[in-house]
Amino acid sequence: MLRSCRAVRGQECPRHVTMESTEIREATLGEIAVVFLKLGTIAFGGPAAHLAMMEDEFVRRKRWLTQADFLDRLAAANLIPGPNSTEVAIFIGKLKRGWRGLIVGGCCFIIPAALIVSAIAWAYVRFGSLPQAQHVLYAIKPAVVAIIVQALVRLGRSGVRTALLGVIAASAVALSLVGVSPILVLLIAGASSAGAIGMRGRLPGAGALSAPKLVGMAVAAAGAAATIPVGLWRMFLSFMKIGSVVFGSGYVLLAFLQAEFVERLHWLTERQLLDAVAVGQFTPGPLSATATFIGFVLAGWRGAVVATIGIFLPGFILVALSEPVIPRLRKSPVFAAALDGVIAGSLALMAVVTWQLGRASIVDWTTLAIAGVSLIALLRFQVNSAWLILGATIVGLCLR
């Protein structure tokens, strides 16, 4: 089946024209389930690494979608609240198999992390401490940096294809480094790109500017209160509220969890919250699986299930509502330009995360060697990222 650039049919779009002759393969629900279960099991390193693995798997290897389709979904995921990599997985499932694909893709990416985190939470509750995994992470993180760099190189060729988009991407990097919030960076990037074609007035998509207001409402609603008894329904509402308004990295999620469960509800201690975030960082899959850990600590297996559903459900709903709109937006020159700007901004944010992760991960000659060998294996021999993660894990165990 040939998938042309329907969204910009009749318009000149170099990024899409180059993909029109590429044969896009269909996927069964079973294939979607297997691939996302695999990714959910090996996707260490946070959202940037997850997105790099997805691009490698679905664009280059399986050819389930074009790079343009992937970048459009990445931009949309960055503009709605919730875990970006999980929402891209949901977008891809919806694109390939409709509503059933949406559910299967998202759930299969989430379930491995939720099960792993639940098992760690069980050990935490039983023994009162976290298992030590530093030696494995020591070797995995440099390999993850190499995976992200490879994805940035490939995505940058399509997503930053003009001098204007290059300037927007560079500006987005600068804004991010000085502390501007990710959603504001993306809105500025989109507005700048749209403004360059003479549309500097109001954009129909500018409603996203209300996101800070939503965050403010959530913080205001989380005012001081006495300790509230732990309840499953209350837990579900708390996590669903957080999943509906949180933008940005896992550190932004930490701020919301702190305000809700430590300061407002008094269900967790500071140490328990930091342990929960640590588990989300050294396990594969989405960082929002931190919610699963908190749910288990508070209310056992039922709490883990309720917390997981609560934190991820808004993402499913928002993707379902926004996915049909993307092709229509691409038909508008203004929105097409705005979306291109958001894509450039998204890649810039990804580059900043890569730099930060690289500084924290490549700390000596051993980690530099792991990163270098991994990058050569990816760029020269096109090794699958799953094998790199496995190999890094073995190296880490041997170094112990």
Among residues 331, 338, 357, 333, the alpha carbon closest in space to that of 251 is found at 357
The Cα 341–Cα 186 span in angstroms is 8
Ranges of H-type helices in 83-224: 84-127, 134-159, 163-177, 182-195, 211-221
Cα 172 to its chain centre, rounded Å, is: 18
Lowest mean pLDDT among 15-29, 249-263, 360-374: 15-29
Q: What is the pLDDT of residues 359-389, one digit of tens each?
A: 888 989 999 999 999 999 988 888 877 688 7
Of 137, 157, 149, 176, whose CA–CA distance to 358 is shortest?
A: 149
Encode pLDDT of 129-163 as tens digits.
Answer: 666 666 776 887 788 788 778 878 877 887 888 88
- List pLDDT tens digits, range 155-190: 788 788 888 999 999 999 999 888 887 768 878 988
Ranked by mean pLDDT, the top range of 134-138, 212-216, 222-226, 323-327 is 323-327
Which pLDDT belongs to residue 247? 59
Statement: the pTM of the whole predicted model exceeds 0.75: no
On the question of pLDDT at 212 being above 60, the answer is: no
Residue with structure tokens 């699963």? 292
**Tokens representing 29?**
């629900």
